[in-house]
């Protein structure tokens, strides 16, 4: 799945050739990315007038196209939800004077209120089932766009491993260099207390760690002649996680922690946005 997601992100990035600080954005210049722009002129026209609006439309395009090509089960995938939100934060953070600092602001500005129209959606039953489960654990205010964009830089390097090093390209030297680049970026994150002392961010590091080790396992199987792929350093657990482990009667794995905390948050963010935009696109049919 990760390799396909990385390729889908690359395809979107190639099309996003614009200056984030340009005050004028013409969505007609991006025909493949403007399908989910806001309706204007009393619903008679669909148009993105700002960088943020175009990025959000591109985000939904990425989400819809990936799910259409790979299956709805990925909406429940832990790393899919994390990584696609990382991409959104990274793109929003490119703007020098960004008007949105965190995902809570994004939620309030672009998603809040969509639930009022959910019963009009063709997929209303699915939407409400997911919403009921995930809204119980919504907590977006601590997800800072700037910090998330830093983590995305490590994810970019992980994507390079997944897309450039496989059974068809077993250049050991090149793959080892790419692995070292990822490890170096990962280490920077591990040394950043703003990240390691925040449960949500540190859990994403755990996902990166697991996906890197999964890559190594697969690479060793397909390219047995390569044995020098870098070893990741240990993850620094945030203090709250350490305390939870001490008080717990059993061991809680990083992946289990992710499923219980961050992933419901990100799915609660992604699912309303996905169906909410679908409502906007079909709004005229419902009137």
For 153-169, the three-class secondary structure string (H helix, E strand, C coil) is HHHHHHHHHHHHCECCE
- Range of the structural domain that residue 260 is part of: 145-265
DSSP structure string for 263-282? HHHHHHHHHHHHHHHHHHHT
Per-residue tokens: 160: 């390079």
Residue 138 lies in a domain: no
Confidence band for 77, pLDDT divided at 50, 70 and 90: low
Query: What's the CA gap between 111 and 266, in Å, rounded?
Result: 13
Query: What's the CA gap between 154 and 204, in Å, rounded?
Result: 11
Residue 136 lies in a domain: no
Residue 122 has pLDDT above 50, yes or no: no
Do 30 and 96 fall within a single domain? yes
Which residue did the predictor score with more confidence, 73 or 34?
34
pLDDT tens-digit series, residues 6-31:
999 999 999 888 888 887 787 778 88
Residue 137 lies in a domain: no
Do 251 and 280 fall within a single domain? no
Residue 157 has pLDDT above 90, yes or no: yes
Per-residue tokens: 193: 């207390």
Residue 28 lies in a domain: yes
Residue 182 lies in a domain: yes
pLDDT tens-digit series, residues 94-108:
888 776 777 777 666
Do 158 and 107 fall within a single domain? no
Average pLDDT, the chain: 70
Owner of token pair 């790419």: 178
pLDDT value of position 268: 52
Cα 249 from chain centroid (whole Å): 33
Residue 133 lies in a domain: no
pLDDT value of position 78: 59
Do 168 and 67 fall within a single domain? no
pLDDT value of position 224: 66
pLDDT value of position 244: 47
Contacts of 110 (CB under 8 A, 6+ apart): 56, 273
Residue 214 has pLDDT above 80, yes or no: yes
Element (H, E) at 212: helix 199-222
Do 260 and 161 fall within a single domain? yes
Do 233 and 279 fall within a single domain? no
Burial (CB count within 10 angstroms: exposed 0-12, middle 13-18, buried 19+), residue 261: middle
Do 184 and 258 fall within a single domain? yes
**Biggest distance spanned by C-alpha atoms of the chain:** 63
Q: Are 62 and 12 contacting, i.e. CB atoms less than 8 angstroms apart?
A: yes
Burial (CB count within 10 angstroms: exposed 0-12, middle 13-18, buried 19+), residue 70: middle
Highest mean pLDDT of the ranges 129-138, 222-231, 245-254, 276-285: 222-231
pLDDT value of position 119: 47
pLDDT tens-digit series, residues 219-275:
777 766 676 676 765 555 555 444 443 344 343 444 444 444 444 454 455 555 544
Do 260 and 276 fall within a single domain? no
Residue 16 lies in a domain: yes
Do 257 and 160 fall within a single domain? yes
Percent of the chain with pLDDT over 70: 59
Do 223 and 277 fall within a single domain? no
Q: Are 264 and 137 contacting, i.e. CB atoms less than 8 angstroms apart?
A: yes
Cα 180 from chain centroid (whole Å): 23
Residue 193 has pLDDT above 80, yes or no: yes
Do 167 and 89 fall within a single domain? no
pLDDT value of position 249: 38
pLDDT value of position 68: 72
Residue 282 lies in a domain: yes
Do 180 and 242 fall within a single domain? yes
Tell me how many domains the chain contains.
2
């Amino acid at each position: 799945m990760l390799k396909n997601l990385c390729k889908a992100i690359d395809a979107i990035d190639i099309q996003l050739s614009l200056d984030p600080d340009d005050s004028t954005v013409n969505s007609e210049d991006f025909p493949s990315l403007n399908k989910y722009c806001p309706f204007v002129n009393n619903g008679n026209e669909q148009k993105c007038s700002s960088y943020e609006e175009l990025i959000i439309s591109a985000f939904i395009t990425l989400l819809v196209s990936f799910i259409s090509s790979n299956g709805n089960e990925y909406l429940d995938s832990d790393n899919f939800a994390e990584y696609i939100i990382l991409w959104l934060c990274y793109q929003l953070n490119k703007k020098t004077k960004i008007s949105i600092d965190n995902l809570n602001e994004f939620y309030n500005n672009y998603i809040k209120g969509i639930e009022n129209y959910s019963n009009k959606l063709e997929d209303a039953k699915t939407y409400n089932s997911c919403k009921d489960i995930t809204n119980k654990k919504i907590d977006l205010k601590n997800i800072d766009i700037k910090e998330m964009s830093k983590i995305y830089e490590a994810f970019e390097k992980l994507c390079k491993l997944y897309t450039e090093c496989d059974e068809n390209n077993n250049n050991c030297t090149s793959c080892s260099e790419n692995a070292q680049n990822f490890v170096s970026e990962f280490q920077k994150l591990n040394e950043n207390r703003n990240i390691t002392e925040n449960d949500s961010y540190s859990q994403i590091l755990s996902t990166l760690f697991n996906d890197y080790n999964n890559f190594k396992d697969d690479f060793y199987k397909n390219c047995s002649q390569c044995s020098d792929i870098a070893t990741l350093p240990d993850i620094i657990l945030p203090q709250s996680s350490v305390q939870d482990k001490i008080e717990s009667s059993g061991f809680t794995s990083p992946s289990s922690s992710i499923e219980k905390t961050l992933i419901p948050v990100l799915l609660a963010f992604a699912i309303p946005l996905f169906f909410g935009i679908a409502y906007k696109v079909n709004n005229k049919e419902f009137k």
